[in-house]
Amino acid sequence: MSHIYLLSPSSAVRDKAALRRGVKRLEAAGHQVEVDAHALNRDTRFAGTDTERLAAIKRAAASGADTVMTTRGGYGLSRLLPALPYKAIAKSIDKGTHWVGFSDFTAFSLAVMTKTRRVTWAGPAVVEDFGALDGVDEITDLCFDDLMTHMSEGTGWRIGKDDPTAFSAQGLTLWGGNLSMITSLVGTPYLPAVTRGALFIEDVAEAPYRIERMLTQLLHAGILANQRVIFLGAFNRFTASPQDRGYGLKAVIAWLRTHTKARVITGLPFGHVPTKVLLPVGQTVDVAATGREVLVLWSHDHTHAHHH
């Protein structure tokens, strides 16, 4: 049984029924779920004022929980980055707390990685995942259980047919998350300076040309040149435009491959989709592709982020 602390650091929870379903499912799985007193707050589009959301993060850091998880993403962490309680967060991680979330949470993960060199987890949120009407995705659930039971050692998936095969790389720094959030941190003190990186990215409701524009920013900022591998998760829920005329995700991936020496691997089960593996952000990993599968392995020691 794990102690899970839920908080809302970003957008206000609108689907309260989904939150209740998620809490019930986590409890049914044997976890002790503690919901932050302000998790259902609302201040316009945010889950409370900046001050209230910062206070919730402080309570979560002091909770002693095994896992701190967000109710949902949305928007709101960018504004809080200068004021995050980095020391308290680092201390909680050193004591064994896993911080888990995705989407807007990317800003939190990368800022914590940059400022404290600690590892947080890209993974599910309550409303979108555990509260889903048709149940939790099986793989998401299994990966989450692995983390809860300290069995999380790596992940693997079937890669795309045009992806590079038969290679391996050791000692890479795994990092990334939502591409819009990553690019929104370029040029700020909250983006880690990763060398020998394994960058994973996903995004939702962004047209292919916008994904390319963001990748172009990472290219021109010198960030792509420091990656050995780039993992592409889901890019979905965008509307094709009559302007596109065949300029889709395939064209973006082809463009990316001509502009980076990093191996571009597709099919990562992560993003705004039901199936999400959990990924330690800031963790040193080994990557190996054989045949049509890729494995990403991390050690048991996933407290400290390694980057130089």
Which among 202, 206, 212, 302 is annotated as catalytic?
Answer: 202
Return the number of the residue (261 or 300) whose C-beta is nearest its own copies: 261
Tell me the residue type at 178.
Answer: N
Tokens in use for 187?
A: 């040029």
CB of 43 to its own copies, least distance (A): 9
CB of 306 to its own copies, least distance (A): 22
CB of 88 to its own copies, least distance (A): 21
CB of 215 to its own copies, least distance (A): 10
Return the number of the residue (2 or 178) whose C-beta is nearest its own copies: 178
Question: Would residue 103 show up in a list of annotated catalytic residues for this protein?
Answer: yes
Q: State how far the Cα of 142 lies from the Cα of 29, in Å rounded to an integer.
A: 11
Q: In 71-211, at which residue ranges do the beta strands (DSSP E only) sit?
A: 98-101, 120-122, 154-158, 167-178, 197-204
User: At 33, is the secondary structure helix, strand, or coil?
Assistant: strand
Return the number of the residue (43 or 286) whose C-beta is nearest its own copies: 43
Return the number of the residue (221 or 273) whose C-beta is nearest its own copies: 221
Contacts made by residues 31-34, CB under 8 angstroms, sequence distance 24+: 31/1, 31/2, 31/3, 31/4, 31/148, 32/1, 32/2, 32/3, 32/4, 33/4, 33/6, 34/3, 34/4, 34/5, 34/6, 34/63, 34/65
Q: State how far the Cα of 289 lies from the Cα of 96, in Å rounded to an integer.
A: 31
**Residue 230: which H helix or E strand, with range?**
strand 227-236
Return the number of the residue (26 or 182) whose C-beta is nearest its own copies: 182
Which among 2, 10, 11, 103 is annotated as catalytic?
Answer: 103
Tell me the residue type at 290.
Answer: T
Which among 8, 10, 34, 272 is annotated as catalytic?
Answer: 272
Question: Would residue 202 show up in a list of annotated catalytic residues for this protein?
Answer: yes
CB of 76 to its own copies, least distance (A): 8
Q: Which residues bind its own copies (CB under 8 A)?
A: 11-12, 14, 42, 44-46, 74-75, 78-79, 81-82, 183-190, 209-210, 212-214, 216-217, 220-221, 223, 241-247, 251, 255
Residues involved in catalysis: 103, 202, 272
